């Protein structure tokens, strides 16, 4: 099973993904979190933030998710996921794929802005920031949309449901 968490920078993907994995590991052995930024680092930060590099990173994560899934490991991915074709690839190539869009209002993202991306982009210091000068297309058919406008506790309240999605998938796996 691959749970694919989508949202802008600061939307709560890593926070929710970490909680899903923590809860899932209480009863399941093989669950891993793939965070978009951590995967960039794991591969030596060899890609920039151009559309071409973002596309390469997205496909790396898609393919790594599939590889781990075929090894019997449940995968929770937190990624910006701006390319429709990578999400379509997941739907075509991952037998158990569950897409979650974390919809966080821009005013909240700007108030959090722990990386300083939105402030620096608005000041013209950086470019290619999704949601500012880089178009962020809302996913057209996610399995779940989470409105993240009410704080971290409300966001994390969705973790138990997503753990149940993983457990249901686990129950459908053939036993060897």
Which residues of the chain register pLDDT less than 70? 175-176
Catalytic residue among 81, 140, 169, 176: 81
Q: Is 169 a catalytic residue?
A: no
What pLDDT, in 10s, does the model give residues 116-136?
899 999 999 998 888 888 889
Q: Cα-atom radius of gyration of the chain, to the nearest Å?
A: 16
Per-residue pLDDT, 172? 82
* Topology of the domain covering 2-170: Rossmann fold (3.40.50)
Q: DSSP characters for 65-117? A: HHHHHHTT-EEEEEE----HHHHHHHHHH-SSEEEEEEE--HHHHHHH-TT-H
Whether pTM > 0.75 for this model: the answer is: yes
């Amino acid at each position: 099973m691959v749970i694919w968490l989508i949202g802008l920078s600061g939307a709560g993907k890593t926070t929710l993904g970490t909680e899903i994995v923590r809860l899932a590991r209480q009863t399941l052995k093989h669950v891993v979190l793939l965070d978009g930024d951590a995967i960039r680092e794991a591969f030596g930060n060899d890609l920039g933030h151009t559309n071409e590099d973002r596309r390469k990173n997205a496909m790396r994560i898609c393919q790594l998710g599939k590889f781990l899934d075929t090894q019997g490991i449940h995968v929770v991915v937190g990624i910006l996921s701006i390319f429709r074709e990578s999400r379509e690839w997941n739907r075509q190539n991952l037998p158990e794929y569950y897409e979650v869009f974390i919809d966080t209002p821009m005013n909240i993202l700007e108030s959090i802005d722990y990386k300083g991306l939105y402030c620096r982009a608005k000041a013209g210091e950086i470019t290619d920031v999704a949601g500012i000068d880089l178009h962020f297309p809302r996913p057209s058919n996610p399995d779940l949309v989470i409105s993240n406008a009410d704080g971290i506790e409300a966001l994390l309240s969705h973790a138990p449901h997503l753990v149940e999605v993983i457990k249901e998938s686990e129950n459908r796996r053939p036993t060897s």
